[in-house]
Amino acid sequence: MSNTVEMTIVKAINAGLRMAMADNDKVLVFGEDVAQLGGVFRVTEGILAEFGPKRIFNSPIAEAGIVGTGVGLAMRGYRPVAEIQFDGFIFPAFNQITTQVAKMQNRSEGATKMPMVIRVPFGGGIGAIEHHSESPEAYFAHTPGLRVITPSNPNDAYWMIQQAIASEDPVLFFEPKRRYWQKGMVDLDNPPAGMHEAAVLRQGTDVTIAAYGPMVATALQAAEIGATEGRSIEVIDMRSMSPIDYATILESVKKTGRLIVTHEANTNVSVSSEVAARVAELAFYHLEAPVLRVGGWDVPYPAAKLEEKFLPDADRLLEAVDRSMGY
């Protein structure tokens, strides 16, 4: 009988961080406003009281410095968990992440590991101002040396943050901001899967929708609606954008013959572009229709009053289902 507790994604990440910090005293948490305030989304709330100021501390508002000092701390034997406050604020740290964090292990021929986690709340849907709703995951999935994952539910959030911290490689941990307060059961005893394994969340036979992060809930909603219209939609939570679990996607595509890949990020040169290309290579004769992509438009993330029309919703997914079935 498993020990399960209901919690939000925010609470699940918090609980996962505490487990990792209790398990290994080299785990450090830092970033802007993470200590007394507990982060602007309260993901690190209460950790200061439990672990003290040597384990969790505020950083100056300098993202390159946050990640750069994290590199030095990792070299020293620590396991830094750095928070970037919002997706759009990661770019001052882009140089450190892509030229240093990603490459240190390669540069040193394996002598210097970089067991660092960079937590990033990402995606839109919260009515925010500019730079607070972006989905920059493709930049990092494109960069060799990084691992890029995102949970879509509390159970995954609880376990994947711990798996990311345990990894000897650097992990970009994207947190689905608008789902932070979504509740779900967390199994405190058994991890659901490895952090790079995709999960089939709903079985179907007509078409597969592969989603990750905040779009998983949307895909499940589309499948629910689709069922009422006689569409049998399979939903995959990709969970990992680098590496991508193609085995799970291909198995599904070989069954349904149709694939739609969705995310909030701009669609051009995106994770869905890569999945479409690879699936076309690896399952060409199983496909009944071209792989379709349903993502954000290739424009800067719009002002909040328009974000509903930017973010893919269940209707846009179902429109793609219709198109796919039309071939």
Partner 1 sequence: MVQFLSPDGTYGVPAEYAEYGKIIADLKEEDFLKFYRHMSRMRRFDVEATALQRQGQLGLWVPAVGQEAAQIGSGHAVGKNDHIFPSYREHGVAITHDIDLMAVLKMLRGVNHGGWNPDETRFHLYAIVLGTQVIHATGYAMGVTLDGKVGTGFTERDEAVITYFGDGATAEGEISESFLFAAINKAPLVFFCQNNQWAISSSVETQTTVPLYQRGAGFGVPGIRIDGNDVLASYAVTKKHMDDARNGGGPFMIEALTYRIGAHTTSDDPTKYRSQEEVDYWTARDPIARLEKFLRRQGIGDSFFEKCDEENEIMAGEIRAQTFALQAPPIENMFQHVYSESHPLIEEQAAWLKGYEASFETDGSTSTEGGAA
Q: Is there binding between residue 232 and partner 1 (CB under 8 A)?
A: no
Region from 14-22, 97-105, 212-220, 306-314 binding partner 1, contact rule CB under 8 A? 97-105
Query: Binding string to partner 1 for residues 20 to 49, with x set by CB under 8 A, is what?
Result: --------x---------------------
Q: Is there binding between residue 70 and partner 1 (CB under 8 A)?
A: yes
Among residues 71, 241, 259, 283, which is the contact residue for partner 1, using CB under 8 A?
71
In this structure, are strands 4-8 and 183-187 parallel, antiparallel, or unpaired?
A: antiparallel
Alpha-helical regions (H) of 86-235: 94-95, 104-107, 137-141, 154-166, 215-228
* Closer by beta carbon to partner 1, 142 or else 254: 142
The structure tokens listed for 69 are: 């000092």
Query: Binding string to partner 1 for residues 141 to 180, with x set by CB under 8 A, is what?
Result: ---xx-x-------------------xxx-----------
Among residues 5, 22, 49, 62, which is the contact residue for partner 1, using CB under 8 A?
62
Region from 10-18, 66-74, 295-303, 305-313 binding partner 1, contact rule CB under 8 A? 66-74
Which amino acid, residue 282? L
Query: Binding string to partner 1 for residues 243 to 282, with x set by CB under 8 A, is what?
Result: xx-x------------------------------------
Q: Is there binding between residue 309 and partner 1 (CB under 8 A)?
A: no
Alpha-helical regions (H) of the chain: 9-23, 47-51, 63-75, 94-95, 104-107, 137-141, 154-166, 215-228, 246-256, 271-282, 307-310, 314-325
Catalytic one of 131, 132, 142, 286: 132
* Closer by beta carbon to partner 1, 109 or else 189: 109
Among residues 2, 3, 77, 228, which is the contact residue for partner 1, using CB under 8 A?
77
Residues in a beta bridge with 260: 209, 292
Beta carbons within 8 Å of 215's beta carbon, 6+ residues apart: 262, 263, 264, 312
Among residues 2, 76, 230, 326, which is the contact residue for partner 1, using CB under 8 A?
76
Region from 63-71, 129-137, 173-181, 213-221 binding partner 1, contact rule CB under 8 A? 63-71
φ, ψ of residue 82 in degrees (nearest 5): -100, 135
Order of all β-strands in the sheet with 117-122: 56-58, 27-31, 79-83, 117-122, 171-176, 147-149, 240-242
Is 196 tagged catalytic? no
Residues in a beta bridge with 210: 236, 261
* Closer by beta carbon to partner 1, 219 or else 261: 261
Q: How far is CA 295 from CA 85, 214, 265, 266, 288, in A?
A: 24, 12, 6, 6, 21
Instruction: Please give the size of the binding site for partner 1, defined by CB under 8 A.
Output: 42
Closest distance to partner 1 from the beta carbon of 102 (Å): 9
In this structure, are strands 79-83 and 117-122 parallel, antiparallel, or unpaired?
A: parallel
Residues 104-133 that bind partner 1 (CB under 8 A): 105-113
CB atoms within 10 A of CB 67: 26
- Is there a cis peptide before residue 60, judged by omega within 30 degrees of 0? no
Binding site for partner 1 (CB under 8 A): 28, 54, 59-60, 62, 64-65, 68-78, 92, 95-96, 99-100, 103, 105-113, 144-145, 147, 167-169, 243-244, 246
